[in-house]
């Protein structure tokens, strides 16, 4: 797995009109391996930089998969010296493989093409995008995974990209980027310009076709609406279309329950017994807190969902439950639809590190008064504050392995954030990575996310392995990017749907501490799953909006 390249060049071009990330992504979905890192909660001023950027791409030149120590390399396009076409299988440590394959930042040239004004420093200009599954924790902690691997998904799947789109929501700008790899700077620059031209041409052609199809669909939908005149509208749709739509949508989410055909590896009773088991471990002094989760699964047709239409379900999910670290990855083996609100770990150009662990949950209320009451209840809950503080201490300890002495700080402690169906208690832990360490060292020091294990981490992971019958897989791991200049930004994989062979899989759970109530813990897990289940069974939101559009108007985009 050679890294020797010589020179790497990046070329940027501002797109002539600001594209919505969803609209632009539609133009890429005809290519293999489409991916979207989607800051779906963005607002005009951003949220402390956490939802400023979105990124999209497809057709990676290399795919890295790992099944424990079995590492598979799929060379798809010969664009980088030392990495050819075809499939190669080796054995080793997946983290070592990732480090060896990341393009080095030495001899890097980033250039905006003539006529374009340079953007602010984009945190991601190319490198690798994908997920790391929870069971990779075996490579960083002395633990074993004995849960059934019935989904047979890779422990790691990373796409190495040389073409991508970047969206700066704060400045209202969008950019196409192309990378080139060669032994000389001149040749690398030429290859980068070629990659950029191919991407821009594909996007412009795809967006043009998408607009034409959108107009056609608008005519068809208006005709279909007229033909259905007089039919009774579903009660849920009437509720969403009346009064305060945001409040009605929230009430609908809060009323969502798993369909009768939904199966899981825990019943309410067995989940409660597992909670009691953890409480006994806590009483014995073996652990302070452990995160217990359950996996639910159902056939898409049983949820009223359209099979083979993962992208439509993602669009509904992001409308029902927007999140700052949302993501969509369409892989041959699985489609991943994530609405994660939690940043696992980020590393910036100045070697600054940030983690934002979430611990502490309440459901949203069905009215403004109930909302305020529940938010205040979470804010002042001794149990939830204790949970949060334990994980903050765990994260501080993890960062202390690789960060400069004295650099670790907690600028935000136990703040309350509102999401579609729940309130969350969130803290921020920061530090500065020591000069001798790099992004993969930081990943090893902190993986898997402490908010998904408990404290102490190793002891909690052992309890999780004993109690949970199936592997967590992608859930509880991380999704995001590794930038070729050395940075990274990864979310914690929560609030995430996996669609595979006509079935939907989702995990949910929560932290168990000494005074946890077993029934309440089970209800909390369902609260976190409501938006995911609703996204499968909800009527297409874009269809509803098209019916509202004036005649002759193009159908509005739900993004």
At residue 251, the pLDDT reads 74
pLDDT one-digit tens code per residue, 357-385: 999 999 888 888 999 999 999 999 999 99
Report the distance separating Cα 479 and Cα 166, nearest Å: 17
pTM of the predicted structure, to 2 decimals:
0.88
At residue 385, the pLDDT reads 96
Phi, psi dihedrals of residue 371, rounded to the nearest 5°: -60, -50
In 228-324, which ranges are continuous DSSP H helix? 235-240, 245-255, 268-283, 310-320
At residue 205, the pLDDT reads 81
Q: Distances from the Cα of 16 to the Cαs of 198, 200, 214, 309, in angstroms?
A: 16, 10, 21, 30
Residues 6+ apart with CB under 8 A from 231: none
Domains of the chain: 7-126+162-222 (no CATH), 245-295+340-543 (3.60.120.10)
Question: Does the annotation count 359 as an active-site position?
Answer: yes
Question: Does the annotation count 379 as an active-site position?
Answer: no
Give yes or no for a contact between 509 and 542, defined as CB atoms under 8 angstroms apart: no
* Low pLDDT (below 70) residues in the chain: 1-5, 18, 42-49, 106, 115-116, 208-246, 253-254, 259-260, 302-308, 538-559
Closest C-alpha among 320, 364, 387, 366 to residue 541: 320
At residue 541, the pLDDT reads 40
At residue 305, the pLDDT reads 53
At residue 98, the pLDDT reads 97
At residue 50, the pLDDT reads 75
Give yes or no for a contact between 197 and 178, defined as CB atoms under 8 angstroms apart: yes
At residue 302, the pLDDT reads 62
pLDDT one-digit tens code per residue, 99-139: 999 987 767 888 877 766 777 789 999 999 999 999 999 99
Catalytic pick from 14, 319, 330, 359? 359
Catalytic pick from 342, 354, 524, 542? 342
């Amino acid at each position: 797995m050679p890294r020797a390249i010589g020179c790497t060049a990046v070329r940027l071009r501002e797109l002539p009109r600001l594209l919505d990330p969803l609209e632009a992504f539609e133009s890429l979905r005809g290519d293999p391996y489409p991916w979207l890192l989607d800051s779906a909660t963005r607002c005009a001023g951003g949220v402390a930089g956490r939802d400023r950027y979105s990124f999209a791409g497809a057709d990676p030149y290399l795919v890295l998969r790992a099944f424990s120590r079995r590492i598979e390399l799929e060379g798809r396009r010969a664009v980088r010296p030392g990495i050819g076409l075809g499939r190669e299988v080796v054995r080793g440590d997946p983290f070592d493989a990732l480090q060896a394959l990341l393009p080095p930042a030495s001899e890097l040239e980033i250039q905006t093409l003539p006529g374009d004004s340079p953007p602010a420093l984009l945190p991601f200009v190319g490198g690798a995008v994908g997920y790391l599954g929870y069971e990779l924790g075996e490579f960083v902690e002395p633990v074993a995974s004995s849960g059934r691997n019935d989904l047979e998904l890779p422990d790691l799947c990373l796409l190495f990209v040389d073409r991508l789109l970047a969206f700066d929501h704060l400045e209202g700008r969008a950019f196409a980027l192309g990378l080139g790899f060669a032994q000389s700077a001149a040749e690398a620059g030429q290859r980068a310009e070629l990659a950029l031209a191919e991407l821009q041409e594909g996007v412009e052609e795809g967006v043009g076709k998408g607009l034409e199809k959108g107009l056609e669909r608008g005519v068809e939908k208006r005709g279909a609406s007229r033909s259905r005149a007089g039919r009774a509208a579903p009660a849920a749709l009437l509720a969403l279309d009346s009064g305060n739509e945001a409040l009605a949508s929230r009430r609908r989410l809060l009323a969502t329950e798993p369909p009768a055909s939904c199966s899981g590896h825990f019943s309410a009773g067995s989940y409660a017994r597992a909670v009691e088991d953890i409480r006994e471990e806590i009483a014995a002094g073996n652990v302070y807190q452990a995160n217990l989760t359950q996996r639910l699964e159902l056939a898409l047709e049983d949820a009223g969902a359209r099979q083979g239409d993962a992208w439509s379900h993602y669009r509904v999910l992001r409308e029902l439950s927007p999140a700052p670290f949302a993501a969509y990855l369409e892989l041959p083996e699985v489609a991943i639809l994530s609405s994660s609100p939690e940043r696992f770990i980020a590393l910036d150009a100045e070697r600054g590190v940030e983690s934002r662990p979430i611990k502490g949950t309440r459901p949203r209320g069905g009215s403004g008064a109930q909302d305020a009451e529940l938010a205040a209840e979470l804010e002042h809950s001794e149990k939830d504050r204790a949970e949060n503080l334990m994980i903050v201490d765990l994260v501080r300890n993890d960062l202390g392995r690789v960060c400069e002495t004295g650099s670790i700080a907690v600028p935000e402690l136990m703040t309350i954030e509102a999401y579609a169906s729940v309130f969350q208690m969130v803290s921020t832990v920061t530090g500065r990575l020591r000069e001798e360490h790099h992004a993969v060292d930081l990943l090893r020091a902190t993986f898997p996310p402490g908010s998904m294990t408990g404290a102490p981490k190793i002891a909690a992971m052992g309890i999780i392995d004993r109690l949970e019958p199936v592997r967590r897989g992608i859930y509880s791991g991380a999704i995001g990017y590794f930038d070729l200049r050395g940075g990274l930004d990864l979310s914690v994989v929560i609030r995430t749907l996996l669609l595979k062979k006509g079935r939907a899989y989702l995990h949910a759970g929560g932290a168990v501490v000494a005074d946890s109530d077993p029934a309440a813990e089970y209800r909390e897990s369902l609260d976190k799953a409501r938006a995911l289940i609703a996204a499968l069974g909800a009527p297409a939101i874009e269809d509803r909006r098209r019916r509202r559009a004036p005649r002759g108007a193009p159908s509005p985009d739900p993004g």
